[in-house]
Amino acid sequence: MIKTEKMKGTSHKPLRTLQSMLLGHPLATADAPNQTIGKLIGLAVFSSDALSSVAYGPQEVFVVLSLTGLINLHYALPIAFGIAVLLVILTFSYEQTIHAYPGGGGAYIVARDNLGELPAQTAGAALLTDYVLTVSVSISSGVAQLVSAFPVLFTYRVWIAVGMILFIMMINLRGVKESGAAFAVPTYFFLVMMTVTILIGLARALFGGLGAVVNPPPVDITLIQPLTLFIILRAFANGTSSLTGVEAISNGITAFKEPRSKNAGITLLWMAGILGSMLLAISFLATHIHAIPAESETVISQLARTIYDGRGILYLATIASTTIILMMAANTAFADFPRLGALHAGDGFLPRQFTFRGSRLVYSNGIIALAVIASLLVVIFQASVTNLIPLYAIGVFLSFTLSQAGMARRWWKCGHLAPGVEVKEPGSTLRFEKGWVTKMVINGFGSFCTLVVMVVFAATKFKDGAWIVILLTPILVTIFFSIHRHYKHLAKQLSLDHKYEITRARRNRVIIAIGGVHRGTLAALQFARTVSDDITAVHVSIDPNETAKIERKWDYWGDGYRLVILNSPYRLMLEPLLEYIDKIDAHSQPGDLITIVVPQFVAKHWWTEWLHMRNAEMLRKALLHKENVVITEVPYQVS
Amino acid sequence: MIKTEKMKGTSHKPLRTLQSMLLGHPLATADAPNQTIGKLIGLAVFSSDALSSVAYGPQEVFVVLSLTGLINLHYALPIAFGIAVLLVILTFSYEQTIHAYPGGGGAYIVARDNLGELPAQTAGAALLTDYVLTVSVSISSGVAQLVSAFPVLFTYRVWIAVGMILFIMMINLRGVKESGAAFAVPTYFFLVMMTVTILIGLARALFGGLGAVVNPPPVDITLIQPLTLFIILRAFANGTSSLTGVEAISNGITAFKEPRSKNAGITLLWMAGILGSMLLAISFLATHIHAIPAESETVISQLARTIYDGRGILYLATIASTTIILMMAANTAFADFPRLGALHAGDGFLPRQFTFRGSRLVYSNGIIALAVIASLLVVIFQASVTNLIPLYAIGVFLSFTLSQAGMARRWWKCGHLAPGVEVKEPGSTLRFEKGWVTKMVINGFGSFCTLVVMVVFAATKFKDGAWIVILLTPILVTIFFSIHRHYKHLAKQLSLDHKYEITRARRNRVIIAIGGVHRGTLAALQFARTVSDDITAVHVSIDPNETAKIERKWDYWGDGYRLVILNSPYRLMLEPLLEYIDKIDAHSQPGDLITIVVPQFVAKHWWTEWLHMRNAEMLRKALLHKENVVITEVPYQVS
């Protein structure tokens, strides 16, 4: 009775021409890329988010310090040291995660395995929020770089940013073939340009010859505040936005060549080393040249312009590489957001649609959702990094905290296992390990540090926008749990495990809703005849002349079936029909079905589709909650 | 065989809770109001568009003149005289239309009857464009009045404007009960406030005591141009935006009490008299007090503030009445745009959906379309009347020109009829009339004048934005005719008038697409049994464990029907199913149907609906162009 058939997952012929043009033909045998990557490529693939943040992190430290006057900008350097120390702590902590979760240790998974549903959903909500902000911030910063090089674009910055987001969305809807080279070229281009710029800059700074920036942008701030600890902490909080992206490698361990934990771990060390050096060097050089934080020109641009003595080819290459790496960072979020969304949806905490892969093997719904929300943020905050930054990074630090706390708890559990016992969890395997106390302390200390930073964040940037995220996170978590409850309730309602009596269908009355008598109507009648012999055609009459014509035609073509004319003095279409169905339904017995057949002509070209009303869809909406009523649209193709 | 049933056009029970909350319960017996109105109410109902334009017309004359320096602002007065003369010519011309078309003589109908399809569609396109601009301009001006009184709102002006548009949209979606009082109160409030303001102003100006405006807003313009004829004409063109709305009464003659042409005609004279006087008085007073045109404070506000010596209660009442009448003007467009759209759609030049009235007897699609486009314009032009005005009024003057040219042609036709002969046209009846030459000359002269003004418009405001409308109108007309061609082609394809052979349905194979075996699946199976005995259940397998469970359950519940498992190694849902259907379909004989039955559980609350995928809808999109394949969604209601 049961027949199993093996099919290739190849896809159907192009569904729509426009879609194909924009998104490419559906992928034929598009399996996820199974080839693994080495450390050099891995660095390129996973570090664009982290490394690109040097384009705005130091600058946003300057922005806060400049509130107290330009003379205090040199505090940026000690703040950068503080951030570098935090980076070291985080790196140690995440090294342990990478080795404990060789299958991928994202905050959601680590928190779910070790802390439970609520912390896991919280970490997920925080991360989803922050992926959106990664897109908005990275793209806004990318546009700011462009605008620095071509000031004439300043007026259009919001639209350029939205255009970039839509462009990246399109690419992701097409399905990114995650070939290492596509990532390696821009990442290493950026690394080379930054290294050259920094080395020349440092050489000129040490051996003389690097002066202040020429024609600095006008200072945006007029009201000078006193330099307080609060300001220092706020500047520090802004700077730590550079640490977002550090977790990327721990999410993607499976992409690495074996021994993958080791390779991923070494790559993390490289990334942290490069990021830390760049942060310190850029902070030092920017202070040295007296760069001015401003919306009209980025600190990176002022730096490159000063080091290269003007807007020459090297300057342009530096700006181009920075813009591109920032776009790559946004692109990373386009990969991570839908994947995390699918993970939530698979566990029943987000709509199931997010688990659905389109014909090009991508999570289309998640990609579109991300693009829409990020674009909205860009428009609302006018593509200003300074406006967006107070919202940013809180989510990441919350997920850092939860993830490391989860790790600490994991070591505690490991430490209390008898030697030789193995406990399998969804994400990793627990066994007794020597030195679990040290490991627990490292992760615990990391968790504590990021918690402190998060509190500093929340306090110092609260009124500038952080309150939005602080408010949003619990709301999201509540929504996630409501969705979960809904799905569980539904499954129970649909279940056959309890006593269930089938109502056998006794008879099926068919109503054909006709607007005229034409070929489409006759196709619908032919379908109706296969369903039942109890067929009634119903026409809602608005124009008596038209109705007379329909009656005449039905007499000839209607195969002798009944035609009911419903007069509609107020020219309404749907309501008289609904009322008629109500009346018929009132006489229903158990097991009686009513099938409403709606003829629908289908034009050849998709662009003519919107010229036709979807009567079936309107009926469906109106009758969805009526039991035993089925609506069937019978298409009739017109060449 | 044919049974006719009379039904009241009452509507169905509330379709959706949210919709009901926002839009009100569907109207029960909501026929169009049949009571007719007198002249006083008629003036209130039809003049808000025309009268409200004094809030921006004179100001926009000032804006252009101020480009040549503030000393030239006094040219506003002679320009206002010129506009008043044009108003007199238009009034004479439209008096004749009102008497010739007692059933309503909008530009679309007059042009269609007398000039043909192309001019009619052009007039319609121009009017539709201008209704959109009426909303954008009126609301932007309304917000500018508000902002003048409460400068703190300036930053939020775009969002206030969009909010107002959405508010008016909601009201119109609920269905406006066009009771005269609802219009009379705000219109007469405005007329009273304006009369008081103007009379006190004139008295103070004549008997001394009306000085220059105190604390005028800062002048926006810095670069001074020479005063040329071009500038004068451009100022004039801006001022004629005050004449939009003059045609409103001729569209709505049927609303008047008998003798309706006479009543409508007298109302038009009143309206023209009031509008002309207000234009002249405001221009005079604004010149007298040296009002400064600026985005931050409207001329009306400066006038009221100067006449009432500050922002007292009378000042606030004036501003409030102006803001409200401007909103009423936008509301008028919300009545006219969907009605004209329905007229076009009824003739087959716009999508049929625009003829569809929702459960509250309004043309919902037209209303929503208008709100969306007008809001977009407001956002793009930042709610600035000065930015929007170059696009405005060209459409109205084009339709004036065509409508009056149509009238002139009508008199020509009348003049060549034998006495006693009557020719019926859709909109009016032609018979010989004495004095047809004079009437033809009056309409012809009116047409000529508005044509000249339109050319002046196009030339002087071309690069400020008029080019958009000049480009858009022919594009719209082309689209209208393409749509018309499509509908005609379709009707021919569907026609039964030519030889047509029915293919009798021979067999109907049913495929039930199942994601699991639950109560919804069994409901779908019961439906399928009424359709055919040839039933196959198909499951796309992603998780082997899940599949094994489904096979086991189907063995028990599946009534012995076949279950086919389609493996999907790449976790795609739709594609394996489509491929299977393709394969089945390849063996189809003429007369074979394939019915795909999709179980769909329906949750009780509308807000949970988005948590469920509409598999049927996705299949429909993919299979729409496949002949003889019917998709049926069988709903299963979950409490």
pLDDT, tens digit (0-9, with 9 covering 90-100), for A188-240: 999 999 999 999 999 999 888 888 888 888 876 667 788 888 888 889 988 98
What is d(CA B306, CA B291) in angstroms, rounded to the nearest whole number? Answer: 9
What is d(CA B161, CA B139) in angstroms, rounded to the nearest whole number? Answer: 6
Q: How far is B127 from chain A (nearest CA, A)?
A: 21
Give me the phi and psi of B247, to 5 degrees please. -80, -10
Give me the phi and psi of B447, to 5 degrees please. -60, -45
Q: List residues bridging with A507 in a β-sheet.
A: A592
What is d(CA B477, CA B471) in angstroms, rounded to the nearest whole number? Answer: 11
Which residue of chain A has the CA closest to B12?
A575
What is d(CA B51, CA B190) in angstroms, rounded to the nearest whole number? Answer: 9
Query: Sorting pLDDT into bands at 50, 70 and 90, what band is A13?
Result: very low
Selection from A229, A355, A208, A205 nearest residue A284 by Cα: A205
CB A304 within 8 A of CB A318: yes
Taking contacts as CB-CB distances below 8 angstroms, the residues of chain A near B527 are 505, 508, 593, 595, 630
Which residue of chain A has the CA closest to B558?
A1
Query: Sorting pLDDT into bands at 50, 70 and 90, what band is A451?
Result: very high
Taking contacts as CB-CB distances below 8 angstroms, the residues of chain A near B632 are 595, 630-632
Specify the pLDDT at position A11. Answer: 39
A636/B517 CB distance under 8 A: no
Specify the pLDDT at position A360. Answer: 54
Specify the pLDDT at position B561. Answer: 92
Q: Which residues in B85-120 are b (16+ Cβ under 10 Å) and which e? A: ebbebbbbbbbbbbbbbbebbbbbbbbbbbbeeebb
Specify the pLDDT at position A354. Answer: 79
Taking contacts as CB-CB distances below 8 angstroms, the residues of chain B near A610 are 351
Q: Which of A17, A565, A572 to substitute to test the interface with B, most B CBs within 10 Å?
A: A572
Contacts of B334 (CB under 8 A, 6+ apart): B135, B168, B169, B172, B367, B370, B371
Quote the tokens at residue A580.
């008629």
Q: How far apart are the first and last CA of chain B?
A: 41
DSSP state, residue B33: P
Residue numbers of chain B with a pLDDT score lower than 50? 1-19, 25-33
**Of the partner residues B26, B503, B582, the one whose CB lies closest to the CB of residue A526:** B503
B526/A519 CB distance under 8 A: no
A311 exposure class (CB count in 10 Å sphere: 0-12, 13-18, 19+): middle
Cα separations in angstroms, A402 against A106, A282, B624: 11, 31, 49
Tell whether omega for the bond before A78 is within 30 degrees of 0, i.e. cis: no
CB A145 within 8 A of CB A319: yes
Q: How far is A501 from chain B (nearest CA, A)?
A: 10
Instruction: Say yes or no to pLDDT of A300 above 50.
Output: yes
What is residue B448's three-state secondary structure? Answer: helix
Selection from B239, B306, B307, B308 nearest residue B276 by Cα: B239
CA atoms within 13 A on the CB side of A9: 20
Q: Which of A10, A361, A522, A530 to substitute to test the interface with B, most B CBs within 10 Å?
A: A530
DSSP state, residue B349: S
Contacts of B478 (CB under 8 A, 6+ apart): none
CA angle A386, A392, A394 (to 5 degrees): 140
- Count the Cβ atoms, other than its own, within 10 Å of residue B414: 18
Q: What is the largest CA-CA distance in chain B?
A: 102
Give me the phi and psi of B268, to 5 degrees please. -60, -40
Mean pLDDT within A124-139: 92
Instruction: Say yes or no to pLDDT of A7 above 50.
Output: no
A565/B5 CB distance under 8 A: yes
B2/A551 CB distance under 8 A: yes
Query: Sorting pLDDT into bands at 50, 70 and 90, what band is A252?
Result: confident
Specify the pLDDT at position A610. Answer: 65
Which residue of chain A has the CA closest to B621?
A15
- Please tell me whether the overall predicted TM-score, pTM, comes out greater than 0.80 for this model: no
Specify the pLDDT at position B35. Answer: 60
Quote the tokens at residue A378.
């860009």
What is d(CA A197, CA A203) in angstroms, rounded to the nearest whole number? Answer: 10
Quote the tokens at residue A480.
């996630």
Specify the pLDDT at position B27. Answer: 44
Instruction: Say yes or no to pLDDT of A306 above 70.
Output: yes
Which residue of chain B has the CA closest to A480?
B611
Q: Which residues in A603-619 are b (16+ Cβ under 10 Å) and which e? A: beeeebeebbbbbbebb
A42: alpha, beta or left? (left if phi > 0; alpha if psi -120 to 50): alpha
| Amino acid found at A106 | G
Q: Residue A452, Cα to own-chain centre: how many angstroms?
A: 27
CA atoms within 13 A on the CB side of B56: 35
Q: Which residue has the tokens 């001015």?
A: A292
**The CA-based dihedral angle spanning residues A180, A182, A184, A189, taken in that order and rounded to the nearest 10 degrees:** 180
Tell whether omega for the bond before B259 is within 30 degrees of 0, i.e. cis: yes
Q: Residue A574, Cα to own-chain centre: how many angstroms?
A: 39
B9/A522 CB distance under 8 A: no
User: Regarding predicted confidence, which is higher, B615 or A481?
Assistant: A481
Q: pLDDT, tens digit, for every residue of A377-421?
A: 998 888 899 889 888 888 888 988 999 999 999 898 888 888 888
CA atoms within 13 A on the CB side of B82: 20
| Amino acid found at B163 | G
- Count the Cβ atoms, other than its own, within 10 Å of residue B553: 18
Helices (H), A461-573: 466-494, 519-531, 544-557
Specify the pLDDT at position B451. Answer: 92
Which residue of chain A has the CA closest to B613?
A353
B1/A639 CB distance under 8 A: no
Q: Percentage of residues in chain A with pLDDT exceeding 90?
A: 29
B638/A3 CB distance under 8 A: no
- Count the Cβ atoms, other than its own, within 10 Å of residue B489: 14
User: Regarding predicted confidence, which is higher, A343 or A201?
Assistant: A201
CB B397 within 8 A of CB B448: no
Helices (H), B381-501: 385-388, 394-415, 436-460, 466-494
Q: Percentage of residues in chain A with pLDDT exceeding 70?
A: 90
Specify the pLDDT at position A9. Answer: 38
Strands B422-424 and A592-602: unpaired
Taking contacts as CB-CB distances below 8 angstroms, the residues of chain A near B572 are 9, 11, 357, 359, 361
Selection from B609, B16, B617, B19 nearest residue A486 by Cα: B609
Specify the pLDDT at position B28. Answer: 36
Helices (H), B241-312: 248-251, 260-288, 299-307
CB B100 within 8 A of CB B410: yes
What length does chain B have?
639
A571: alpha, beta or left? (left if phi > 0; alpha if psi -120 to 50): left
Contacts of A152 (CB under 8 A, 6+ apart): none
B30/A570 CB distance under 8 A: yes
Q: How far is A172 from chain B (nearest CA, A)?
A: 17
Cα separations in angstroms, B635 against A629, B520, B528: 8, 7, 13
User: Regarding predicted confidence, which is higher, B542 or A528?
Assistant: A528
B530/A554 CB distance under 8 A: no
The whole-chain average pLDDT of chain A stands at 84
Mean pLDDT within A463-474: 88
Specify the pLDDT at position A562. Answer: 92
